[in-house]
Amino acid sequence: MSDLNTTAPGETHVKATPILEVVNLVKRYRAVEAVAGISFAIPPGICFGLLGPNGAGKTTAMEVIEGIIAPTSGEILFKGARKTASFRDEVGIQFQHTSLLEFLSVRDTLVIFRNLYREVESLEYLVELCNLQEIMEHRNNRISGGQAQRLMLALALLNKPTLLFLDEPSTGLDPQARRHLWEIVRSIKAQGKTVVLTTHSMDEAEYLCDEIAIMDHGKIIARGSPAELVRRHCNGTIISLPRERLTMPLSQLPLPAREVNGLLEITVERIDLGLETLLGLKIDLSEMIVHSPDLEDVFLNLTGRKLRE
Amino acid sequence: MSWKRIWTMFKARNYEFFRDTAAFGWNFLFPFLIIAGFAIAFGGRDFSALKVGIFPSPGEQVDFRHSNLPEKFIKTEHLVFIGFPDLEAGLVKLKHHQIDFLVRQDSPTPQYWQLASSPKGYLAERLFESSFVPDNHGFGSKKTVAGAEIRYLDWLFPGVLGMNMMFSALWGVGYVIVRYRKNGALKRLKVTPLTAFEYLTAQALSRIFLLTFTLIVVFIGADLLFSFRMAGSHLDLLIVFVLGGLSLTSIGLLVASRGTSEDFTSGALNFISWPMMFLSEVWFSLEGAPQWVKSFAELLPLTHLLRAARKIMNDGATLAQVSSECLVLIGVTLVCLIAGAALFSWNE
C-alpha cells in the first residue's frame, strides 16, 4: 500500500496547482506514530475526505496541516508554497472539539471573530446559511450541540476562506441537522471553495466527497473517488444473511463469503446466479439483504475490520 | 500588531466579566465584606490588649468588689478582664492561648498562672508584679505624640484593596486562560490572524481596566462607609495601583502561559498568592520579623504595591517619593510579560 501514500505522477486531477499538498507528513508522540508519512495533493474546488475509524490519525493529520500542532517531519504546501502568516486569513476551520467564550452571545461571537479578519463575509448571509436566526441573542453556554456546530461552521466561513477544514462536522447531530449540514457543505463547494473534511461516516464521505483518502493506523491505505474505490476494491453484489441460516461450514459454501459481526456476507458476480446457488443449497433467505458494495466494504476488504469497530 | 484585534479581544473579555454576574458581584462584594468585617471586629475592642482571666467569678463580667487584687492592677489600661467560675475553666482557656494570664482574686497572697512560652503572659506578669509596688513618677519625662492618628483600618484598607487586586489579577487571568486552553477556546482563536502577543496584551489591558474599575467603585464605597484617611493624591494612588495590577496580571499570564491542568494552576496560584497575603503586610506589619523574612517579602510585588499605597494614603507621599516601588512593579511586569509571551501556548 505504500505507493498510495504518494501522489501518483500524471494523475489528471492534480494537473492544476494543488491548493494543498502534503508531502510525507509524520507526527510522532514518543513511541506512538499518530501520522505515519502521508502524502496527498488536493486540487482546488473539490471536497476531499479523510475517512477512517476513530484513532486512525485523521484529526492529528488535520491539525498538523492546519498548523495547530507541529509536525515531526514532512512538508505542507498551500497554493504551491510553504504556509505563511496569510494562511490563517485564507482558511476556515471547524474543529471536532472546541469551545467558545461562555458568556458571549452568538451575535457577539460572530462580530468578535469577524473583527479579527481583514476580509469578511456578510453576517446576514452566514446567519441565513447556517440557520442561526433564532439563537443570535442566546449565550454560547446555552446553545445545543447542533446549534454550536452550526455556529462553528459560520465562524469557519467568516473570512471567506478559499480552503475550508471540517473535522467530523456532523458528529453529535441528529439526522435532520446532519442532512442540513451536508447541504450547506455542498453549497459552499458550489461556490468554488475547497473543502477538506474528516469523517468516520461512510455515507457522509460518499455524499460529500469528490475524493477520499482512507486512513488507518496513521497511514493512507487507499485513495480515489468513492466510485473508484468501490470499483477497485470490491466486485459484484453483496448478499447478507444471519450467520445461523447457513447450516454447513463456511468453507463448504461454493461462493466467496465471510462472517462479519454475526452476519454472513456473500459476494456474487451476478445476483441471479448467486441466489440460484443459495436456493439450491436450501438456505433460508427470508432475512436476506442485497446491497451494492460501499466504502464500508472497501474498508472491510482492506483491513478486515469495519469502520465503526 | 493590530490594535483592532487587541481592542476586539479587550471588549470580548470585558463582556465576559460584566456578564458573569456571580464573579462580577463577588469582585465588589469581597473587599466590602472584608473591610466591614474588620470594622465590626475592631470597632469597639482593642485586640492588642492583654486578656486576663479572673476567678472565681460567676460570669464573664468580673465583680471586683470583694477582690484581694491591688486596685492599681484592676485599673491598668489596656487590660481586658474575663471572669471564670474556677481555676479549671480558666486553665482550659489559658492552655489554648485564649487568655494571656490567669489570676485568683480571693486569695490573700497573689496567685497567678501563665504559659511559659507566652510573651503576652510574660508582660501581664510584669504588670501584675508592678501593681504591688508604689508608683514612681520621677524617673523620666512623658511626651504625647500629637496629630491625627492612623487607625488600623486606615492601615488595613490599602492592604485589602491590594489583596483583592492580587486575587482578581491572578485568578481572573491565570485560571481563565488555562480553562480556555483546556476547553479549546484558545485553539479556536489560534487559527485566526490573532497573535499570542495581541491576545496577551488584550487580556492584560482588560484586566487592568476591570481592576481599576473595581478599585474605584470599592474605594468610593468603602470611603463613604468608613471615611479612610487619604493624605496624598488620588491620581498618584491610582497610578500605583495600575502598576501593581499590571505586575500581578503579568504574573498570572506567566503562570497560565502553558498547561491545561486547572488543579495545577490553582496550586501554583495559591503558592504565589499565599506568601504575598501573609508576607506583603496585607494584615500586619513585618516589623520585628526575622531579616530573612523581610528580605523574602521584598521579592513580592504586592509588598511594593502596598508600601507605595500606604505611603500615599497614610503619609501623603508623592509619586516621586514612591518611585523605587513603582520601578520594581514595572520591572516585574516587563519580565513576566516577556517570559509569558515567549512561553505561551494556545493549545495542549
Would residue A301 count as lying in a domain? no
Q: Cell 457543505: give the residue.
A: A185
Residue A166 cell numbers, joined:
471540517
Residues shown for chain B: 348
**CA A7, CA B285: separation in Å to the nearest integer?**
73
Is residue A88 located within the same domain as residue A217?
A: yes
The answer to whether A250 and A237 are in contact (CB under 8 A) is no
Pick the more confident residue, A306 or A263. Answer: A263
Is the CB of B184 inside 8 Å of chain A's CB atoms?
yes
**CA B221, CA B231: separation in Å to the nearest integer?**
18
Is residue A156 located within the same domain as residue A33?
A: yes
Would residue A268 count as lying in a domain? yes
Is residue A196 located within the same domain as residue A270?
A: no
- Using a 10 angstrom Cβ sphere, with 0-12 exposed, 13-18 middle and 19 or more buried, the burial of residue B160 is buried
At A103, the pLDDT band (50, 70, 90 cuts) reads confident
Is residue A121 located within the same domain as residue A254?
A: no
pLDDT attached to residue A237: 86
Is the CB of B9 inside 8 Å of chain A's CB atoms?
yes
**CA A307, CA A199: separation in Å to the nearest integer?**
10
Nearest-5° Cα angle at A119, A116 to A120:
80
User: How are strands ordered across the β-sheet holding B101-104?
Assistant: B79-83, B50-55, B101-104, B111-113
Of A48-52, A231-235, B50-54, where does mean pLDDT reach its minimum? Answer: A231-235
Can you name the residues that pair with A82 across neighbouring β-strands? Answer: A77
pLDDT above 70 (res A81): yes
Domain final position from A231, A254, A279: A231
At B148, the pLDDT band (50, 70, 90 cuts) reads low
Kindly state the DSSP code that residue A243 receives in the 8-state scheme.
Answer: G
**CA A299, CA A307: separation in Å to the nearest integer?**
7
Each residue's pLDDT tens digit, A108-140: 999 999 999 988 999 999 999 888 999 999 998
Chain A CA closest to residue B23: A103
Is residue A134 located within the same domain as residue A279?
A: no
Residue A176, C-beta contacts closer than 8 angstroms, at least 6 positions apart: none
User: How many CB atoms lie under 10 A from the CB of residue A307?
Assistant: 23
Contacts of A98 in chain B (CB under 8 A): 183-185, 187-188
Is residue A125 located within the same domain as residue A241?
A: no
The answer to whether B115 and B121 are in contact (CB under 8 A) is yes
Contacts of B210 in chain A (CB under 8 A): none
CB contact under 8 A, B180 and A99: yes
Domain final position from A231, A249, A281: A231
Each residue's pLDDT tens digit, B272-311: 988 898 888 888 777 777 889 889 999 999 999 999 999 9
CB contact under 8 A, B15 and A66: no
Would residue A57 count as lying in a domain? yes
Is residue A225 located within the same domain as residue A240?
A: no
- Closest to B185 (Cβ–Cβ): which among A88, A101, A159? A101
Is residue A65 located within the same domain as residue A94?
A: yes
Chain A CA closest to residue B5: A116
**CA A43, CA A225: separation in Å to the nearest integer?**
13
Domain count across chain A: 2
pLDDT attached to residue A15: 60
pLDDT attached to residue A5: 43
**CA B333, CA B348: separation in Å to the nearest integer?**
25
CB contact under 8 A, B183 and A103: no
Would residue A16 count as lying in a domain? yes
Instruction: For residue A213, give how far its alpha carbon lies from the nearest alpha carbon of chain B (Å).
Output: 24
Supply the CATH number for residue A74's domain: 3.40.50.300
Would residue A304 count as lying in a domain? no
Interface of A with B in 104-123 (CB under 8 A): 104, 108, 112-113, 115-118
Kindly state the DSSP code that residue A103 receives in the 8-state scheme.
Answer: T
Kindly state the DSSP code that residue B170 receives in the 8-state scheme.
Answer: I
Contacts of A104 in chain B (CB under 8 A): 12, 15-16, 19
- Closest to B190 (Cβ–Cβ): which among A68, A97, A115? A68
Interface of A with B in 230-289 (CB under 8 A): none
CB contact under 8 A, A112 and B8: yes
Is residue A62 located within the same domain as residue A94?
A: yes
Is residue A162 located within the same domain as residue A130?
A: yes
3-state secondary structure of B10: helix
pLDDT above 60 (res B127): yes
Contacts of A112 in chain B (CB under 8 A): 8-9, 11-12
User: Which of A60, A112, A117 would you mutate first to test chain B, the one with the most B CBs within 10 A?
Assistant: A112
Q: What are phi and psi of B143, to 5 degrees?
A: -125, 135
Residue B111 cell numbers, joined:
496567685
Contacts of A95 in chain B (CB under 8 A): 184, 187-188
3-state secondary structure of A268: strand
- Closest to B194 (Cβ–Cβ): which among A68, A97, A116? A116
- Domain limits at A260? 235-292
CB contact under 8 A, A68 and B183: no
pLDDT above 50 (res A7): no
- Closest to B183 (Cβ–Cβ): which among A69, A91, A99? A99
Chain B CA closest to residue A86: B193
User: How are strands ordered across the β-sheet holding A237-242?
Assistant: A257-260, A263-268, A237-242, A289-291
Instruction: For residue B198, give how far its alpha carbon lies from the nearest alpha carbon of chain A (Å).
Output: 11
Mean of the per-residue pLDDT values of chain B? 85
Chain B CA closest to residue A103: B16
User: How many CB atoms lie under 10 A from the CB of residue B67?
Assistant: 18
Is the CB of B12 inside 8 Å of chain A's CB atoms?
yes
At A265, the pLDDT band (50, 70, 90 cuts) reads confident
Each residue's pLDDT tens digit, B57-101: 988 888 888 888 988 899 888 888 999 999 999 998 888 888 999
Of B32-46, B59-73, B115-129, where does mean pLDDT reach its minimum? Answer: B32-46
Instruction: For residue B192, give how far its alpha carbon lies from the nearest alpha carbon of chain A (Å).
Output: 6
Mean of the per-residue pLDDT values of chain A? 85
Is the CB of B260 inside 8 Å of chain A's CB atoms?
no
Report the candidate in A88, A40, A75 with the shortest Cα–Cα distance to residue A198: A40
Would residue A300 count as lying in a domain? no
User: How many CB atoms lie under 10 A from the CB of residue B38?
Assistant: 17
Is the CB of A177 inside 8 Å of chain B's CB atoms?
no
CB contact under 8 A, B188 and A66: no
The answer to whether A266 and A253 are in contact (CB under 8 A) is yes
Is residue A99 located within the same domain as residue A246?
A: no
Report how far apart the first and last C-alpha atoms of chain B are (Å, whole number): 25
Is residue A120 located within the same domain as residue A256?
A: no
